[in-house]
Structure 1
Amino acid sequence: MRVFGAYLNEPLRLNPNFYGNGTCFLWKAFRSSPESRKKDAVKQFKYAGDNEYFILCDPDFIAIGGGRGKFGLWFKSDFLHGYSARCPTFNNEPLCVDPSHPKSKEPDAQQEFVVAHLEIWAFNS
């Protein structure tokens, strides 16, 4: 199981254009070794400055980060299926890489996933 996500500076809303700003980021949690919980960590992918493709909400999908025809994190509207790929917005590695998959070493690999658990948090200021 892989744990990953995004921080968004604005609420999700239908919009035909990208919105948000450079405070958005992608992240993934990882364990350096299966037997060690002490070395659990979170890797953060901050705004790289290449474009301003932060949040895109369409009736059929939600995308976070983009460029060159790929999205950093993409969810189908059913919130059960998605993919992650390297994108210029965050210069991230795919968030759900399966090291045993043959495409995992390709720099432009698009890693698909099926959602097991989804959490969405919102904060009011």
Structure 2
Amino acid sequence: DADKDEGSSDGNDIQKARKTAAENLVKQAKKMKTSSDKSHPPANVGDNVTIPIPDVDKGKGDLRNIIGVILQTNGEGFYKIGTEHGILQKLYCRHCFFKSELDVCTQKFLEVADVKQDTEISLRTAATRHSVGSG
């Protein structure tokens, strides 16, 4: 009977430890989100961003980035980006801007009106069209 009590005590300890761990994970997630929001301010419609071109999509002499402008945002933190050659098919998230996927520019190189609104293109196509070499 003593073994039974000891077993249920261990079970309770495990349940308490799991509950505490789950609560601490939630606290840590909130802390990380707050820190991230402070260091990564939201981008706005009309902001210029640089979009790195993957190495496989560019030649040695080609640009490392293309410049785009934020055309719209949705409520979930995703951005539609346009370039002078068309609108990029992929949506980009706010935090992607700071993970070497996109960077917000301090200067304006491109206006929303400069975007070819009737064409949707891939990043690879945009990179090829911005290419000074063979793409």
If the length of structure 2 is used for normalisation, what is the TM-score?
Answer: 0.26
Structure of greater Rg: 2
Higher helix share: 2
Higher relative contact order (CA 8 A, sep 6+): 2
- Which structure shows the higher strand fraction? 1
> Normalization by structure 1: what TM-score?
0.27
